[in-house]
């Protein structure tokens, strides 16, 4: 499949790119600065996210939005999300999978409280979580596009191992057999590429956890 990865030089984006390439997909890195790419064997579309057009996106079966910003620019998650929603309306055959956050997951069965609204959620990341939650709300309200929003576990471990195993849920905060909300970036990449290959969550959010070490 033809896969475009926005933010392919970031931690999550680079591992998703690696996983997709290992599985034989035709991957294009969509990046602001091609010089930051560590793989000379990947196709490149050097463009700011806010300059992407429907024609840019039409060439892909799936576009992965792994766009990352620092906390002080957290609102760009919403702005970029809205921009991509509009662009994808002109590329209706292209699916988008968003690298989301754990903060928007519900912690109660009634779905009244999100993880970022609890005392346990780190204050440092609240702005990111709030804006990713707004991005999800915009996707849920959208029409005419195909999307999936993948929330990692609360502990999203960039140094964790690739075990190849994970459990999935939908809108709720889930834990592994040890009672931990954990997943490595590498196992998250597996789950995301699995969704690319065999979509099970069209126009939905889902989440994943793994056992870790």
Q: What is the dihedral of CA 201, 173, 155, 212, to 10 degrees?
A: -70
- pLDDT at position 131 is 95
pLDDT at 159 over 70: yes
CATH number, position 122: 3.40.50.720
Average pLDDT value over all residues in the chain: 95
CA distance 78 to 141: 13
Q: What is the mean pLDDT of residues 37-43?
A: 84
Q: How many beta carbons lie within 10 A of that of residue 213, not counting itself?
A: 8
pLDDT at 40 over 90: no
- pLDDT at position 69 is 87
| Residue-wise pLDDT tens digits, 116-127 | 999 999 999 999
Tokens 């912690």 sit at which residue? Answer: 107
| Residue-wise pLDDT tens digits, 72-103 | 999 999 999 999 999 999 999 999 999 999 99
Token pair for residue 158? 């960039």
Helix (H, G, I), strand (E, B) or coil at 153: coil
Rounded (10°) angle between helices 126-141 and 76-88: 20
Q: Which of 57, 97, 89, 105 is nearest to 202 (CA)?
A: 97
Domain span at residue 45 reads 2-209
Q: What is the mean pLDDT of residues 22-28?
A: 97
Q: Please give the tally of structural domains in the chain.
A: 1
Percentage of the chain surpassing pLDDT 70? 100
Q: Which long-range contacts (CB under 8 A, 24 or more apart) does 117-125 make?
A: 124/71, 125/71, 125/101
- pLDDT at position 213 is 67
Q: What is the mean pLDDT of residues 44-73?
A: 95
CA distance 8 to 39: 10
The contacts of residue 143 (CB under 8 Å, 6+ apart) are: none
pLDDT at 152 over 80: yes
Centroid of chain to Cα 175 = 19
């Amino acid at each position: 499949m033809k896969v475009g990865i926005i933010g392919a030089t970031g931690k999550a984006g680079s591992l998703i790119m690696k996983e997709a390439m290992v599985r034989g997909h035709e991957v294009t890195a969509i990046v602001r600065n091609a010089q930051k790419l560590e793989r000379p064997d990947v196709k490149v579309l050097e463009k700011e996210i806010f300059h992407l057009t429907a024609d840019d996106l039409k060439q892909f079966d799936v576009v992965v939005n792994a766009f990352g910003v620092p906390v002080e620019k957290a609102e760009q998650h919403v702005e970029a999300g809205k921009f991509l929603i509009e662009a994808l309306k002109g590329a209706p055959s292209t699916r988008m999978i968003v690298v989301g956050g754990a903060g928007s997951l519900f912690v109660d069965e009634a779905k009244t409280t999100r993880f970022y609204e609890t005392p346990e959620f780190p204050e440092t990341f609240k702005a990111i979580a709030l804006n990713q939650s707004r991005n999800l709300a915009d996707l849920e309200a959208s029409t005419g596009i195909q999307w999936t929003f993948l929330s990692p576990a609360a502990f999203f471990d960039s140094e964790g191992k690739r075990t190849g195993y994970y459990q999935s849920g939908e809108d709720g905060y889930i834990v592994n057999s040890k009672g931990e909300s954990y997943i490595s970036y590498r196992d998250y990449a597996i789950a995301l590429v699995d969704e690319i290959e065999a979509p099970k969550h069209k126009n939905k959010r889902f989440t994943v956890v793994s056992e870790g070490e």
